[in-house]
Structure 1
Amino acid sequence: MSADIKAENQPYDDINVTPMLDLAYVLLVVFIILTTASVQGVKVDSPNTRASENLARPQTRAITITADGTVFLDAYPVDIAQLKSRLADHKAANPALPVVLKADAAAQYDTVMQVLEVAKALDITELGLVTKRQAP
């Protein structure tokens, strides 16, 4: 019996780092998730409207036009030819492709019209315009 007690009181020769590694991996995963969740896309100053709801459907493609006229498709910069090509690919996969157009209030009207012409040429009928809700 005294041999059992003596064995319990002996110092450890090594440290078990497995729980510390588990904690480090959990913290890494949480950091990755929080970092990617904070990326919301391209920030623009949308015009105001009194529309009650502006809801996007699942698998909706977002086209964003910044104040300087840069066009983005789902947060990736594209020119008008690339936009037409990529939207055509998405339209082929989903014939009822919903598209949301989010333009800065200071964006050039010409750029907005070019994007709308691309949508019309591809026969995209589910097209929404994103605005900010104006206080009554």
Structure 2
Amino acid sequence: MAFGSFNHHRNPGPMADINVTPMVDVMLVLLVIFILAAPMFTGSVQLELPKAQAPATPSAPAATVTLSIDGKGKIFWNNDPVDQAALEARFVTAAKLDPQPELQLRADKDTRYEIVAQVMAAAQSNGLTKLGFVTDPKKEQK
């Protein structure tokens, strides 16, 4: 006999112990399935939003400053070339205006990201809060 004691004179009766190994195996498999399936349930909710016609709210056009950076890293304030010191002085002046003008950043595709990041950091550190990126619309392919 595989189970029991070494006393062979004992009456073999039904085993009263519950074997939980299959139940643990099933629970572990379910746990793995839920762990793998959980990320699928965190997606966005698909909604069909209602359509409405509303007139655009008229607003006074805020002042805008076009800041262009060419491929060589040269900076232009409304088409006028400026150096880094003059640029920061203009940022301070523009930040004091009420309402504050929007800074529209136009960077050449060959411009190094480092230069764009430095200009953005300088604008933020000098108090400008409105910054927009200007891009060309995607051209249709024929």
What is the TM-score of this pair, normalised by structure 2? 0.52
Structure 1 position 95, deviation (Å) = 4.9
2:107 is equivalent to residue 88 of structure 1: no
SS at match of 2:66: strand
Aligned to 1:133: 137
Q: Looking at both structures, which has the greater relative contact order when contacts are Cα pairs under 8 Å and sequence separation is at least 6? A: 1
Partners in 1 of 2:85 and 2:99 — Cα distance? 20
Matched residue count: 80
Among all aligned residue pairs of Structure 1 and Structure 2, give the percentage whose two residues are the same amino acid.
Answer: 30
Q: What one-letter code is carried by the residue in structure 1 that aligns with 2:86?
A: Q
Superposed, 1:12-31 pairs within 5 Å as none
Q: String of CA shifts for 1:61-117, please: whole Å, max 9, x gaps.
A: 111000111001111111122111012112212352211000000011111111001
Partners in 2 of 1:90 and 1:60 — Cα distance? 10
Q: What one-letter code is carried by the residue in structure 1 that aligns with 2:112?
A: Q
Give the alignment's Cα RMSD to 1 decimal.
1.6
2:128 is equivalent to residue 120 of structure 1: no
Q: What one-letter code is carried by the residue in structure 2 that aligns with 1:96?
A: Q
Gaps of 5+ in 1: 1-56
Aligned to 2:115: 111
Partners in 2 of 1:73 and 1:134 — Cα distance? 25
SS at match of 1:102: strand
Partners in 2 of 1:77 and 1:135 — Cα distance? 29
Higher helix share: 1
Alignment counterpart, residue 68 of structure 1, candidates 68, 72, 85: 72
Structure 1 position 135, deviation (Å) = 4.4
SS at match of 2:110: coil
What is the TM-score of this pair, normalised by structure 1? 0.54
Contact 1:80–1:114 under 8 Å retained in 2: no
Partners in 2 of 1:81 and 1:65 — Cα distance? 15
